[in-house]
Chain A
Amino acid sequence: MTDLLRVEGLSVEFPTARGVVRAVADLSFALGRGETVALVGESGSGKSTAALSLLRLVPPGTGRVSAGRVLLDGEDLLALPAAALRKVRGARVGMIFQDPMMALNPVFTIGAQIAETLRRHAGMTAAAAEARAIELLRRVQVPAPERRIRQYPHNLSGGMRQRVMIAIALACRPALLIADEPTTALDVTVQAQVLALVADLKAELGMAVLLITHDLGVVWETAQRVVVLYAGRKVEEGPVATVFARPGHPYTAGLLRAARWQEDGGRLAEIPGTVPSPLALPPGCAFAPRCPLAVARCREARPPSQALGRDQEAACWRAGEAPA
């Protein structure tokens, strides 16, 4: 099976007054058709930057993609002319954002905002687009869609707005949905509903989902494969079940321990220390200063990604030794 999306050696740099920050370094992963891959990492790990740069949405003038290829059906999005890229955005690749409060234009009705995409990419007439907008809102389980399309974003709750965002993103039946922390700004019950909705729609439309999140519970419930980022680099990749059962990288193991429910009410397991400054990364493995397994070699040379059995790989000199 050919991959729908193949990211090869993606690097994103942000020039700052104190030096160049590599927010994403040499990131490679692939996404099959209909597959859900989760991009996991803590704040500042580069996961959102990576997601944005896939569609060249990193604001020009702040950061730039310095290397790599993003192949969608074999076509490099990073090399595409602006006009051709605009035809991909919103049509073949949909995107939903973290904060549905902010991602809708406050001065237009939600009906107009959904119809906008349909008219743009599918060339629908105003009437057809409105009918389809109602249908889409019904599909994302917005009650009374005939009434809702006349309302403005401020009339809707956070969960409803995220549903509207999903409706907009899915309007043109994209092959890939990039969801950048889609549930972070929502409360827990709404989170579950939105995730269930995304899973349903994915099955129905056969689209692939790239889910950016820091919530391992969400990863477990929705994704087939997981890519773990640390300080802009991929430290581990593999099927969710395998990675969660036998993490190959000590950072993944630490994350899983920290996320584990404390049955006995004991102290929450944490990863000691903090993420290193992107301006002063250690010469070896970026995780070495916080790693319980670190040896001299880890501080000297950066470990390459190595295979750990079928489908799983980790960038660690002592990969596979980490206790689960």
Chain B
Amino acid sequence: MTGLLIFWRRYRRNAAAVGGLAVLVLIVAAAIVGPLVHPVDPFDMIGRPSQPPSARFLLGTDVSGRDMLAGLLHGARVSLVVGIVASLAATLVGLLVGAVAGFYGGFVDNLLMRTTDFFLTIPSFVLAIVIVAIFSPTIATVTAAIAAVSWPSVARLVRAEFMAQREREYVRACRALGMSNLEIIVRQILPNALPPVIVVSSLMVATAILTESGLSFLGLSDPNVVSWGYMIGVGRSVLRVAWWMSAIPGVTILVTVLAINLVGEGLNDALNPRLQRR
């Protein structure tokens, strides 16, 4: 537990990161308890369309008379879950590919890295659109598509870490103690390579949320769930007469992504104390 305490002390030194974390906690809390406190179906047409925020509808209604607040709260769940699951999946794939490529080198490395390059050469948003268009747009396929376009950066980072670590003397010492390659990769090198990966993965959550929003703005996401991007898309046609309809989910995305980025920065400072003293 002392490790966590030291970590928190270092993290605390970055005021912006603490602020980001506070905002993020609020957003996560809203996503979890919001729909319970405000039990309105976001697809129910419960009022006159295109109302500005009022006492009855705190954030107004959209073009179909649906409650914007309910949409925002339900959308938070979708955006966060897609963001977190997609970046977790991308991190796992990236770790696997990067670790094997970096540790073994040679032909395996070449094969895996050229595959990675292939993914990196295609603009990730376009690739995500193609993947979603091929499969039917559900939350699962959208998440998978975002993960599929996100893992290459993790793989390259992990590979570089493994290449640096595998030459270290402790790896040789582990071999001399009778460890197998798999044990050395998973139990010895991986913990050393993890800090920068954690930072990149946390920032990837923000990118994944943006990608999901972009997809649902274009109407390529699951039509059965409300997400922030979908709400912006709905408000787009009445942007000049009801600007808040797009602005409210837009600002929500902005704040969430900013908060995640600040947390990522804070993690970077806390996990790489050497960088901090510059």
Contacts and interface: CB of A to CB of B under 8 A. Distances in A.
Interface string B17-55: 000000000000000000000000000000000000000
B177 interface: yes
A91 B105 contact: no
Contacts of B177: 89-90, 116-117, 120, 168
A97 B173 CA distance: 8
B175 A57 contact: yes
Nearest to A87: B178
A103 interface: yes
B162 to A, nearest CB: 14
B169 A97 contact: yes
Contacts of B170: 102-106
Contact of A99 (B169, B174, B176, B178): B169
A103 B172 contact: yes
Interface residues of A, number: 30
A83 B192 CA distance: 25
B14 interface: no
B115 to A, nearest CB: 22
Interface residues of B, number: 17
Contact of B169 (A94, A103, A117): A103
Contacts of B192: 105-107
Contacts, number: 60
Contacts of A55: 175-176
A180 to B, nearest CB: 10
A209 to B, nearest CB: 15
Nearest to B166: A59
A86 interface: yes
B178 A91 contact: yes
Given A57-B172, A99-B169, A103-B172, A86 B179 contact: yes
A120 to B, nearest CB: 6
Contacts of A104: 170, 173
A88 B178 CA distance: 7
Interface string B148-189: 000000000000000000001110111111111000000010
A95 B176 contact: yes
B123 interface: no
Interface string A254-298: 000000000000000000000000000000000000000000000
A108 interface: yes
A295 B174 CA distance: 48
A216 to B, nearest CB: 25
Interface string A41-60: 00000000000100101000
A217 to B, nearest CB: 25
Interface of A: 52, 55, 57, 61, 82-83, 85-91, 94-95, 97, 99, 102-108, 116-117, 120-121, 165, 168
